[in-house]
Amino acid sequence: MNGVCLRVLLVQSPVGRREAPIYPIGLACLAGALDSHECSGIDLSLEEFPEEALKTRLDTIRPDLVAVSVRNIDDSSYPVTHWYLDSFGVVMDVLGKWEGTVVVGGAGFSIYPERILKLWPRIDYAMVGEGDIALPQLLEHLRGAPEPPWLNDRIATPPRPSLEDMSLPDYSVFPASDYPGKGSVGVQTRRGCVFNCAYCTYKSLSGNGFRIRPIDRVLMDIREIIKQGFDSFMFVDSVFDHPVDYYRQLIDAMSKIGNVPPWGAWLSEAVPLESLGDLYSAGCRWIDFSPDVITRKGWKLMGKGGSLKQLWPVVKKARETGFTVGINFFSASPGENFFALLQKFLFMARARITLGWGSTFINIGTIRLYKGAPLSEKLYPGEELFQPVFYRPRGLADVMIRFFQAVRRVRR
Ligand code: B12
Ligand code: SF4
């Protein structure tokens, strides 16, 4: 392989069921970073017969290296959980009969790299975390450069890079026309998070504090998204309104570029109310809040920033401004069970009836405990939690949530 440009096939692992397509933005970032190589892509989550599709693509492209992205290992749903790794197994079976180098990475994968490596020894390299700088370096190593210090046998744990002059995603490897639907493509403005919500893996995946992308780079992504023909997008950041100065500068800059398609973002309850009008003018049309809990005790135990008091005023103001609003709660959390769940259902009724049935959505999920989350460490210290373990409601609350989820499944 020494000294040559490599043929790289970027593969999004299949989801194993019918789902709204999600653009593989992680792989598009890698394609952008691998511009000195010959990259092509296949999103197996769009294929009815992923096994055949992959075999055909391997035969036509004849890649030197296959880079597989595993965004999710399971769908974190209670009481019925979908296991995405079954369909990843199909990819590994096909690659078992193929001779090139196989590298695997992705957000879900990065929570359980050792376990997945053990289950599928066909993987040559397991990359934990961000591949933008590290994957090109690994390819250099395969072409003869010295081994990078972060490579330990088959497990790569590269440092988290600065986003200052990170390459731009290359959207051309996965055509926009394959991804219809609201916000199917993601734009990223920052990585990491300053908050410390007890159930969240984000900090272990992407680090403490924010690494921010320069605004002009974000605008370049948006212009490219428009050029590629996407008709909407969503920001895939942890919280879009932090740090506040950056948030204000970004929406100001976005309101100045023409033709921005409608977009959505996750906001904290502390978003300045008077900024919501500017947010709307910048093209934002739907926003999501994740208060998760509804009592002061729950809020404190969950380690949330901001204040619960801000929730209703911000939701109301957002609806008055014209946004579609989503609000996410958990069915149970430390300090909250049956009465808190009732309050969440009452909140749902109040919000939908008074603020608009068709534009105010409430989701009540259940905490799936993942390795690396503070709550998991507290409740199950040192445990892997690879098979789904939930912080689940008890007694009547459990009956209610099972019924609620069954109704949602039938409606879907
Ligand atoms: C935004 C987001 C969503 C959005 C996506 C919107 C969109 N249009 O893209 C929505 C809300 C739709 C969503 C849905 C779901 N999500 Co989500 N999501 C995220 C989030 C917050 C960011 C993902 C993202 O876009 N990152 C930005 C891109 C650039 O990064 P990336 O994809 O991770 O890629 C980088 C690296 O991973 C790596 N990499 C990626 N692939 C590869 C491959 C190789 C070979 C290498 C070397 C490196 C590499 O390099 C890339 C560039 O640095 C993550 C949390 C997180 N911190 O990652 C959860 C996360 C991925 N989601 C998660 C879950 C559970 C889900 C759902 C199952 C929830 C549900 N019950 O419906 C669904 C599944 C949908 C699906 N089929 O994927 C979990 C996955 C954990 C798990 N169980 O495996 C995460 C990790 C959050 C968590 N709970 O911890 N999600
Ligand atoms: S849940 Fe959201 S705000 Fe809380 S730590 Fe995770 S990414 Fe940050």
pLDDT (mean) for 264-275: 97
Q: Is the pLDDT of residue 346 over 60?
A: yes
d(CA 63, CA 333) in angstroms, rounded, equals: 47
Q: Is the CB of 76 under 6 A from ligand 1?
A: yes
> Residue 196 CA: which ligand 2 atom is closest?
5
Q: Is the CB of 107 under 6 A from ligand 1?
A: yes
Summary mean pLDDT of the chain? 96
The Å distance, Cα 342 to ligand 1 centre, comes to: 31
pLDDT category at 259 given cuts 50, 70, 90 is confident
The angle, 0 to 180 degrees and rounded to 10, between the axes of the packed helices 134-142 and 25-33 is: 50
Q: Is 181-411 in CATH node 3.40.630.30? A: no
Q: Is the pLDDT of residue 411 over 90?
A: no
pLDDT tens digits for range 43-93 = 999 999 999 999 999 999 999 999 999 999 999 999 999 999 999 999 999
What per-residue string of b and e applies to 184-200 under the rule 16 or more CB within 10 Å gives b?
Answer: bbbbbbbbbbebebbbb
Nearest CA to ligand 1 atom 15: 75
Please name which ligand lies nearest the alpha carbon of 374: 2
d(CA 290, CA 5) in angstroms, rounded, equals: 45
Q: At 264, is the secondary structure helix, strand, or coil?
A: strand
| Residue of 196, 199, 200, 268 best suited for mutating to test ligand 2, as the one with most atoms within 8 Å of CB | 200
Q: Is the pLDDT of residue 264 over 60?
A: yes
The Å distance, Cα 386 to ligand 2 centre, comes to: 21
pLDDT tens digits for range 219-248 = 999 999 999 999 999 999 999 999 999 999
pLDDT (mean) for 133-138: 97
pLDDT score at 300: 95
Please name which ligand lies nearest the alpha carbon of 375: 2
Residue found under tokens 């992680």: 26
Q: Number of H helices and number of E strands within the chain?
A: 15, 17
Residues lining ligand 2, Cβ inside 6 A: 193, 195-197, 200, 202, 238-239
pLDDT (mean) for 192-216: 94
pLDDT tens digits for range 297-316 = 999 999 998 899 999 999 99
Q: Is the CB of 81 under 6 A from ligand 1?
A: no
Domain layout of the chain by residue ranges? 7-156, 181-411
pLDDT tens digits for range 140-174 = 999 999 999 999 999 999 999 999 989 999 999 99
- Asked whether this chain's domains 7-156 and 181-411 adopt the same fold, the reply is no
Considering the four listed CATH numbers 3.40.50.2300, 3.30.70.270, 3.40.50.1950, 3.20.20.10, the one that applies to the domain covering 7-156 is: 3.40.50.2300
pLDDT score at 412: 79
> Residue 238 CA: which ligand 2 atom is closest?
7
155: CB partners within 8 A, 6+ apart: 113, 114, 117, 125, 126, 128
Q: φ, ψ for residue 257 (rounded to 5)? A: -95, 135
CA distance to 30, 136, 137, 244, 369, per residue, from 1 (Å)? 20, 14, 14, 47, 42
Q: Is the pLDDT of residue 258 over 90?
A: no
Give the CA diameter of the chain: 66
pLDDT (mean) for 278-289: 98
Q: What is the DSSP letter of 290?
A: E
d(CA 232, CA 247) in angstroms, rounded, equals: 19
Residue scoring higher pLDDT (3 or 52): 52
pLDDT (mean) for 178-205: 94
| Residue of 76, 195, 203, 368 best suited for mutating to test ligand 2, as the one with most atoms within 8 Å of CB | 195
pLDDT (mean) for 321-343: 97
CA distance to 1, 2, 98, 143, 369, per residue, from 140 (Å)? 9, 8, 22, 5, 37
pLDDT score at 3: 56
CA of residue 82 relative to chain centroid, distance:
17
Percent above pLDDT 70 for the chain = 99
Residue type, 335: G
Q: Is the CB of 14 under 6 A from ligand 1?
A: no
Q: Is the pLDDT of residue 195 over 90?
A: yes
pLDDT (mean) for 270-282: 98
Percent above pLDDT 90 for the chain = 95
